[in-house]
Amino acid sequence: MNFNLNELFILISSNSNEFFKEDQFNFTDNETPRVSIKYEQKDIDFVNAYFSHGFNKNMLNEYDECAKDIFDLSFNVFDTLLHAWLSELPVYNEMIAYGKIFYAIAKMNCNIEEKRRRAETEENNRVNSDIKTMLNVNYKVFRELERLMGLLRFNPNSDGEFIAKCSPDHFILPALGEYLTSRFGETAWTVIDEKRNLYLSRKPKGKFKTCLLDNESATVKLDSGKDEWEELWKHYHKTINNEDRNNPDLQRQFMPKRYWQYLPELDQ
């Protein structure tokens, strides 16, 4: 199912109560179903701009006015909606219902301060099943974001650019941009999302960007062969390991097995 941001805000602002037919999503720690999304570059550009310098009102010609109304009402609500869309979880009905709650508040006939007070009261109302679902989705996306901040492993190519590969459960590449920019300074870096055929990259003195790997402008140079720094890291990890204190369950809690293929220290 292809479901772009423009369609999301149009459905939220419409008077129709016809949502998508989908199975009820059960939030567990087990493997969860995913929705196949083909990202459009305009959506990628909007999300990239949002995580770079906030909501870009100049891009509203690409989206419904509903987006601006919700953002002006509550940054937290808009942020939760966007993260839910990036989650790729089958929660479209809940997402639209959640948006309609706050869009209705935004359109109320009262001053903006009163609207924001009402929105703030509703934001954490877990009695409402749709709001509860959105808060749970938001938590899952942020939890993976925090994990990847510690689990991404970079290798330099021959040009001195640091490359990392990943296959995250959610589309979180743009949300990593500011963190990696601060971490690497003016060193060039690229993160490749192999599951979605996307990459996040930043060159010295430039801004980070997220693009399709099949885009003609994509110039990610990957080197093959043995990496001495990776071998040194694996040796360090082996040296400090204390077999008597091994706790596989705790290890999988912090480093789920689905990430292991990208962790050289866990290479079997």
CA 26/CA 9 separation, integer angstroms: 25
pLDDT tens column, 142-172: 999 999 999 999 988 888 899 999 999 999 9
- Specify the pLDDT at position 29: 46
Q: For residue 61, what pLDDT band results from cuts at 50, 70 and 90?
A: low
pTM: 0.80
Q: How many CB atoms lie within 10 A of CB 4?
A: 18
Please state, for a pLDDT cut of 70, what percent of the chain lies above it. Answer: 82
**Run of H or E residues at 48:** helix 41-53
User: What does residue 63 show for φ and ψ, rounded to 5 degrees?
Assistant: -135, 165
Radius of gyration over every alpha carbon of the chain, rounded to an integer in angstroms: 21
pLDDT tens column, 5-14: 888 888 899 8
More confident residue, 41 or 186: 186
- Specify the pLDDT at position 24: 44
Greatest mean pLDDT among 20-34, 171-185, 220-234 lies in 171-185
- Specify the pLDDT at position 101: 96
pLDDT tens column, 196-206: 888 999 999 88
Tokens of 96: 């639209």
- Specify the pLDDT at position 35: 54
- DSSP state letters, 131-176: HHHHHHHHHHHHHHHHHHHHH---EE-TTS-EEEEE--SS--GGGG
Cβ 126 vs Cβ 117: under 8 Å: no
